[in-house]
Amino acid sequence: MTETQRPGGRADLRALARGGTLSAIGAAISAITQFLVIAAVARGFTQADAGVFFAATSVFVLAAMVAKLGTQTGLVYFIARFRSLGTPELIAGCIRVALTPVMVVSLLLTGALLVSAPALAGLLAEDHAGDFTVLLRTLAVFLPLAALSDTALAATQGFRAMRPTVLIENIWRPLIQFGAVAIIAVIGFREGLAFAWAAPYLVTAVLAALWLRSLVRGLAVPRTAVPPAGEFWRFSAVRGVASIAQQALQRLDIVLVAALGGAVAAAIYTAGTRFRVVGQLGNQAISQAVQPQLAEVLAHDDRRSANALYQTATAWLVLITWPMYLLIAVFAPYVLRIFGEDYADGAPVVLIMMLTMVVASGCGMVSTVLIMAGRTTWNLANILLSLAVQVGLGLLLIPRLDLLGAALAAGAAVLANNLLPLAQIWLALRLHPFGRGTLTAMALAALSFGLLPLGVRLAFGSGLVQLVGAAVLGGAVFALGCRNRRTALRLDALRGVRRGKAAAVAT
């Protein structure tokens, strides 16, 4: 078997480059538009109205994750595995096994949210219970569509088809969502905010289902084979709990701040932590591209190839995320003005979260590696422990330190959720992300967007001119460094994608 044919060799790194580049473009568009949605709400409505809305959408996102039952990772894993092992006839049945329970559970959850909305309002937004109830009930109607859209798109990723996710989830839905929310914010129609935010799921659900249907039809194999439903649900059930807990790590802090600190505090905290989510979309983009390939090489127990994929993906992840994290950390007080002058109190939140995410992204997609290696119970234990850290510290620190306490609790949870699996994949699989490319990327990013911008701020202060100047100076140094170190960073694979020919990437 040649190097190009071997899983994890040149062909797989080119595939990772294709998927990663496409996903990164989509993630960038999604990140910008989602950030603009938060800014539109923050600037278009009072802090209290914004905080109530952010709390309601957090409950909706958590409910949607429950409805998906962990099938997203399960579908990617099993479809990629069936394709790799030469059993594509099992794919259509596997999709049916996953999708039917998802739709049933999502309908049940819709009913539960409609009924329980007033009770949840009393817990999370006591001073704005009526507004919260209306918002949550409006969002609940779209829950089955959100679950269908996300599940169908996950299935397309198992085919190594990244375009559906990039176009539908990362570009079209955020753009439609931002346009609708911006219009509502401009006219000040508070009652239409939830509908404007959730209605795009109707479009994405239809498009995702149609795209998946075309991929399944393209298999041209009999569909009478019975998929291993038991194996699928044993894998996905564990991942389902993990997915809920993972989403809770992203959203429960907002809910806790709303319940313990009030709607205004929730608005400021949400604005401060959105910078974290923007960077995480880069992680998601790379992770989505590498998942099917990791599943295939680990199915053959090819750990050398798995390590090559992991280290290359981590280097690219650092190149994508560290510049933003570090630059925002340096200019945290100024960048919060995007949301309005009243949001300046969130500067400590931004600083803590950005530095925490620098560490987290430097670990790479550790959870993805753990899951694709079949250690789903380990991943579940890690997430549950991290969630316990967040809730425990949140309950302890938020009443005492307010926003700072919430940020410290969330940061500790993020560190636990990355450092634990990092140790586990090394001890159990002898895999780690710290190859030459990763260390090179870290050094370049730290110099270009950490030390240089910090020097600019210390010398000239914080403002728009200083921020732009630091970004331009850092960007020039960063681009030059990437060009000179492109072999270590494996950027030739990206060049090969652009030119449409093989990239000379050694493994």
Every domain of the chain and the residues it spans: 10-499
Find the mean pLDDT for residues 394-413.
Answer: 95
- What is the Rg, in whole angstroms, of the alpha carbon atoms belonging to the chain? 22
Residue 13 has pLDDT above 60, yes or no: no
pLDDT value at residue 15: 58
Residue 3 has pLDDT above 70, yes or no: no
pLDDT value at residue 10: 53
157-204 pLDDT per residue, tens: 888 888 899 899 989 999 999 999 999 999 989 999 999 999 999 999
Q: At what angle do helices 452-460 and 464-484 cross, to 10 degrees?
A: 160
329: pLDDT confidence band, cut at 50, 70 and 90? very high
pLDDT value at residue 333: 85
The length of the chain in residues reads: 507
Q: Please name the amino acid found at residue 222.
A: P
Residue 448 has pLDDT above 60, yes or no: yes
Contact yes or no for 64/206 (Cβ under 8 A): no
499: pLDDT confidence band, cut at 50, 70 and 90? very low
CA distance 277 to 273: 7
Residue 9 has pLDDT above 60, yes or no: no
Residue 367 has pLDDT above 80, yes or no: yes
Contact yes or no for 397/406 (Cβ under 8 A): yes
Residue 505 has pLDDT above 60, yes or no: no
pLDDT value at residue 4: 42
Q: Which pair of tokens denotes residue 24?
A: 């990164």
Highest average pLDDT, of 70-84, 166-180, 271-285, comes from 166-180
CB atoms within 10 A of CB 63: 23
CA distance 191 to 195: 8
pLDDT value at residue 498: 44
Find the mean pLDDT for residues 252-274.
Answer: 92
Find the mean pLDDT for residues 102-119.
Answer: 97
- For residue 269, what are the CA distances in angstroms to 140, 193, 375? 24, 20, 34
Percent of the chain clearing pLDDT 90 (strictly above):
58
17: pLDDT confidence band, cut at 50, 70 and 90? low
pLDDT value at residue 81: 85
194-245 pLDDT per residue, tens: 999 999 999 999 999 999 999 988 876 665 566 778 888 988 887 788 888 8
pLDDT value at residue 31: 80
CA distance 241 to 384: 9
Residue 501 has pLDDT above 60, yes or no: no
Residues 6+ apart with CB under 8 A from 294: 306, 309, 310, 368, 369, 372, 373
276: pLDDT confidence band, cut at 50, 70 and 90? confident
Contact yes or no for 279/319 (Cβ under 8 A): no
pTM to 2 decimal places? 0.80
In 1-142, which ranges are continuous DSSP H helix? 10-44, 47-68, 71-84, 91-124, 129-140
Contact yes or no for 235/94 (Cβ under 8 A): no
* Chain mean pLDDT for the chain: 87
CA distance 80 to 70: 16
Lowest-confidence pick of 53-62, 212-221, 272-281, 339-348: 272-281
